[in-house]
Amino acid sequence: MYVSPIREPLITGKKTYQKITDEISAPIEGKAGKAWYAGIAITLSALFFGLAMMGWTIWQGIGTWGLNKTIGWGWGITNFVWWVGIGHAGTFISAILLLFRQKWRTSINRSAEAMTLFAVMCAGLFPLIHMGRPLLGFFVFPYPNTRGLWVNFNSPLLWDVFAISTYFSVSLLFWYVGLIPDIGTIRDKVKSKFKKAVYGFLSFGWTGSARHWSRHETMSLVLAGLAAPLVLSVHSIVSADFATSIIPGWHTTIFPPYFVSGAIFSGFAMVLTLLIITRKVLNLESYITVGHVESMNKIIIATGSIVGIAYITELFIAWYSGVEYEQYAFLNRATGPYWWAYAIMMTCNVISPQLLWFKKLRRNLAFTFVLSIFINIGMWFERFVIIVTSLHRDYLPSSWSMYSPTIVEVGIFIGTLGLFFTCFLLFIRVFPVIAIAEVKTVMKSSGEKFINMDKNESS
């Protein structure tokens, strides 16, 4: 007789509901360690350096960047698209995996949702700075006015404004609604009157009654239903910035699915980068298990393979089109002055993820951590290759030019990294990094303690 194997537990150790609450809320109730202070010092230093470079750009103008007449988009748009992509994993884990009732999402969705918000904040800075006059940023919104100045609704750059602002709003609501039961739990646990008052205000009077839980469940499903299409639409619209142009290397219909899969690919890599460190530093190995890491690695294999197929498809279509300009654009990517960027992109995004087909590597935390960093480096270079190599050699050889970033551009990017990691470090000190209430819902079906009980009874 064949007996179905028992699934790997998602919560290890002999946990009780009280123990789950105490262990996950410990970083909020206790004092921060030396590692946290060291991390916040580094990230704040990067943030202030970036703010100084942003201020210098606004004061002196975009001329402080390495852009020229041929290459009007450089590091700014590269970083914008990269950060928007990083934010995709949060909505995917939260919304789509919730709708598909995937239990392994419960330990990682909170961090991924927070990561989404911070990444979109970082992305939004680049178009604002690139405008040259950030104080006039409100011009992109089609508000009623008496000046007769209306936005260009035919511009895909305006579509970005609507898509990303909607994406941020829904993600923020989804993240906060999921937090409310846990904020109520923290409110009841903290001893400080000030903290109790703050968490009491943020919890909206949560009592854990049946009516509150019913409304919470309904709202979560509604927001998940709204957020799920955004996973596909947001980066599809970002890809329209390129696909609707007539520039060889950009004018291609494969960009929407290619950008979406690449965004989920890089987003999951960043989630792994953060959570592998977080689980160790905050002693959450029982909740963010090797099984969670393996499940995320499987999605990385799938999306990485889609990205690889997209690269090959681009090369084939360029050859099959018979358009010499299109053919040259891709030949130039692989063999031109920026061949090294193309080589890094192909190595990090196509070759390295295929190592995850081996189960030992897929479950190896050190290997996964290094690979996740490689993937995000590769995805950054993908955006750089698409943008810069398609622009630096125009139809006329007389307008060909090279591009290299200045210290100001590099500094702004470092500043956004500082903002992202500073926000995440503050987040883990203020709110539970794992959804306490959601982990408890899968305890009896996925906890090691209960799985072992079922196993003993069946034997």
Question: Which structure tokens are listed for 82?
Answer: 């990269």
| Structure confidence at residue 43 (pLDDT) | 95
Question: How many other CB atoms are found less than 10 A from the CB of residue 343?
Answer: 13
273, containing H or E segment: helix 255-281
> What proportion of the chain, given as a percentage, has pLDDT over 70?
95
Report pLDDT for 452: 62
CATH code of 17-141+151-444, in short, is 1.20.1630.10
Whole-number pLDDT of residue 449: 67
d(CA 240, CA 217): 35
Tell me 395's DSSP state. Answer: S
Q: What is the pLDDT of residue 283?
A: 86
Residues 112 and 94: beta-carbon distance below 8 Å: yes
What is the predicted pLDDT for the residue at 245? 87
Residues in the chain: 459
Under 8 Å between Cβ of 9 and 451: yes
pLDDT, residue 3, reads 43
Find the mean pLDDT for residues 142-153: 74
Alpha carbon of residue 144 to chain centroid: 34
Q: Which residue from 136, 141, 137, 94 is spatially nearest to 115, judged by alpha carbons?
A: 94
Phi, then psi, of 68 in degrees rounded to 5: -145, -175
Domain residue ranges of the chain, discontinuous segments joined by +:
17-141+151-444
List, in order, residues 6 or more apart from 89 with CB less than 8 Å away.
Answer: 112, 115, 116, 264, 266, 267, 268, 270, 271
pLDDT of 4 over the 80 cut: no
Dist. CA 290–CA 374, nearest whole Å = 20
Of 416, 343, 335, 407, residue with least CA distance to 377: 343
pLDDT at residue 243 tops 80: yes
> What is d(CA 96, CA 227) in angstroms, rounded to the nearest whole number?
8
**Mean pLDDT value of segment 386-395:** 88
Structure tokens that stand for 170 in this block: 């829904």
Please check whether residue 385 is in contact with residue 342, taking contact to mean a CB–CB distance below 8 angstroms.
yes
Quote the CA–CA distance of 203 and 432 in Å, as a whole number.
13
Confidence at residue 344, expressed as pLDDT on a 0 to 100 scale: 95
Q: Is the pLDDT of residue 143 over 80?
A: no
Check residue 261 and report its DSSP letter. H
CA distance 30 to 23: 11
**Residue 2: is its pLDDT beyond 60?**
no
